[in-house]
Amino acid sequence: MALTPDEKAARARNRMLDTSRQYTLGTYSRKFVAPIFQKMIRAEWAAQPTGSVISIVDGKIEIVFRRRGQCVCVTCGKVQAWSGGLGGMHTGHFLGSRRLSILYDEDNVAPQCSHCNRFSNGSPQAFRMWMVHVRGYEIIERLRKLKDSSVTMTREELVDKRIEYAARLKQAQNIMRMS
């Protein structure tokens, strides 16, 4: 007898919960939730219609053209495919921290090329300029306050985040495939 979609989803969630019990919460977050979150962020940016994006290029605010399926590094303006791997596009964090209070906050992340994210330590001055121009001081202050707070997530919450992010990633990938 075939399972309903709800029954399949419940079984998949239970399997993920079983997997999560093999790890500490921090390890599960780092190994399973964070990578899907980062991939989802890049995919959602890349799924946007072809057009222009605000970026910082040589220390100045510039408008950079990109096609659907591509991301623009917010701190240098480099345009690359959204899923380029280690040498390609990354998801950079404005406020770097492993604290759960800001780790999965979508206002704290944006696409960055591997050079800016890894080799230039996130290009903090350019990232701050971009944040001020695009997201505003209110968001920056909210993130700073959140960074100093402590948030604890349960296994169930982490598994639910993983499921949500995977669904959003799939939706963004479908949008890119259709165009």
pLDDT tens column, 110-147? 999 999 998 899 999 999 999 999 999 999 999 999 99
25 pLDDT band, cuts 50/70/90, is very high
- Rg for the chain, CA atoms, rounded: 17
Q: What is the pTM of this model?
A: 0.93
pLDDT for 86? 67
Percent of the chain at pLDDT > 70 equals 98
Percent of the chain at pLDDT > 90 equals 85
pLDDT tens column, 94-104? 998 777 889 99
Q: Mean pLDDT, the chain, as a whole number?
A: 94
Distance of alpha carbon 71 from alpha carbon 67, whole angstroms: 8
pLDDT for 83? 87
DSSP 75-91: TT--EEETT--TTSEEE
150 pLDDT band, cuts 50/70/90, is confident
pLDDT tens column, 62-109? 999 999 999 999 999 999 999 876 678 999 999 987 778 899 999 999
DSSP H helices in the chain:
5-20, 25-28, 34-46, 100-103, 114, 124-130, 137-147, 155-178
pLDDT for 108? 96
